[in-house]
């Protein structure tokens, strides 16, 4: 009796929530079949535009995970996407706007690859 009484009192509130849950879209997406839309400004991987870069090493200095190595002599940049924590501090630091942020993070892989960029002289 006690339980029945409780249920009757709670019913209107619960019905509202149940109906809303029933009629609204699911909160999750069916991932492998549906790709979730990244929000505007999602921090993902980065790529270097070597036409703009002047090898000033600012990005190397600020990168908290030491994912960027700049070789000024050979005009080469090595970027390790598997060390990168996608903080985009380098993007904000680069005065030449040579680092292009993307919304995609690097997918899983068997080997830790390194992206190499070279200045065309």
Partner 1 sequence: MNETEQPVEVNTVIPFGPQHPVLPEPIQLRFTIHQDKVVGVVPNIGYIHRGIEKACELNDYKKNVSLCERVCGICNFMHAMAYCEAVEELTDTEVPDRAKYLRVVWSELSRLQSHLLWLGLFADSIGFESLFMHIWRDREIVLSLNEKTSGHRIHLSTCAIGGVNKDMDKGLISEYKSGMELLERRIRELAPVFYKDRSVKDRTVGKGVLPKKRAMLLGAVGPTARGSGIPQDMRRLGYEAYSNLDFEPVVHDEGDVHARLLVRLEEVFQSIRLIKECLEKMPEGPVMNKNRRFPNGATVVRIEQPRGELFYNVMGNGTKRLRRCRIRTPTLANIPALVDILVGYDVSDIAPIVMSVDPCISCTER
Binding-site ranges for partner 1 (CB under 8 A)? 6, 10, 13, 16-17, 27, 39-43, 62-65, 85-89, 92
| Angstrom distance (rounded) from CA 53 to CA 76 | 10
Cβ closest to partner 1, residue 17 vs residue 30: 17
Contacts of 66 (CB under 8 A, 6+ apart): 60, 83
Per DSSP, the three-state class of 18 is helix
Token duo for residue 2: 């006690």
Residue 96 binds ligand SF4, judged by CB under 6 A:
yes
Query: Of these partners, ligand SF4, partner 1, none, which one is at the site of residue 104 (CB under 5 to 8 Å by kind)?
Result: none
103 near ligand SF4 (CB under 6 A): no
Q: What is the dihedral of CA 43, 88, 96, 99, to 10 degrees?
A: -50
Q: What are phi and psi of 22, to 5 degrees?
A: -70, -40
Residues 42-61 close enough to bind ligand SF4 by CB under 6 A: 46, 48, 53-59
- With binding defined as CB under 6 A, does residue 65 bind ligand SF4? yes
Q: Which is nearer to partner 1, 66 or 74 (CB)?
A: 66
């Amino acid at each position: 009796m006690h339980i029945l009484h409780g249920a009757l009192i709670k019913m209107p509130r619960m019905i509202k929530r149940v109906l809303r849950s029933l009629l609204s879209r699911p909160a999750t997406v069916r991932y492998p079949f549906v790709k979730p839309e990244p929000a505007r400004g999602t921090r993902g991987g980065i790529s270097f535009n070597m036409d703009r870069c002047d090898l000033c090493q600012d990005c190397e200095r600020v990168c908290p995970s030491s994912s960027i190595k700049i070789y000024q002599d050979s005009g080469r940049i090595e970027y390790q996407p598997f060390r990168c924590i996608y903080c985009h501090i380098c993007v904000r630091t680069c005065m030449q706007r040579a680092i292009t942020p993307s919304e995609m993070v690097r997918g899983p892989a068997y080997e830790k690859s390194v992206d190499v960029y070279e200045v065309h002289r």
